[in-house]
Amino acid sequence: MSFVSLKKNEDFGRVYRQGKSYGNKLLVMYVLEKGQGLENRVGISVSKKVGNSVVRHRIKRVVRECFRTHWQQWKAGYDIVVIARQSVKDKNYQEIESALLHLGRHHKLLELEGEG
């Protein structure tokens, strides 16, 4: 798999400070380029405002699974932080996947040969 988790607070902070961000109704995505040939690192942030721990973990699992199923379409060499907005808690997999891929295209991170 071509993704590693972004875990350290300082890494999240660096992406927030130096990266570019775009958002839609469900998600906000911050992206910081690290350089060609490096693996992507992905961090997922879901605030307590979104819901209880069961809801937050479900959202994280869905976002992680969206990255996993589409990893071959993403360009390599980026730190990516995805922040869930409150409106995401009632959405199903397809709606969250669509929002994530929309932001990936907006950041020009998706290889466009096989959009799904």
Predicted model pTM: 0.90
Q: Is the pLDDT of residue 116 over 80?
A: no
Within a domain: 17: yes
Separation CA 74–CA 77 (nearest Å): 10
DSSP letter for each residue of 48-111 = TTT--HHHHHHHHHHHHHHHHHTGGGBPSSEEEEEEE-GGGGG--HHHHHHHHHHHHHHTT-B-
Tell me the per-residue pLDDT of 16-75, one tens digit each, with 9 for 90 and over: 999 999 999 999 999 999 887 788 999 999 999 999 999 999 999 999 999 999 988 998
Q: How many C-alpha atoms does 52 have within 13 Å on its Cβ side? A: 1
The total domain count for the chain is: 1
Within a domain: 115: no
Tell me the per-residue pLDDT of 10-31, one tens digit each, with 9 for 90 and over: 999 999 999 999 999 999 999 9
pLDDT at residue 113 in the model: 52
Q: What is the CATH number of the domain that holds 87?
A: 3.30.230.10
Within a domain: 114: no
Q: Quick check: 99 and 69 in contact, CB under 8 A? A: no
Q: Count CB neighbours of 54 within 10 A.
A: 8
Within a domain: 116: no
- Could you list the residue range(s) of the whole structural domain that residue 68 is in? 3-107
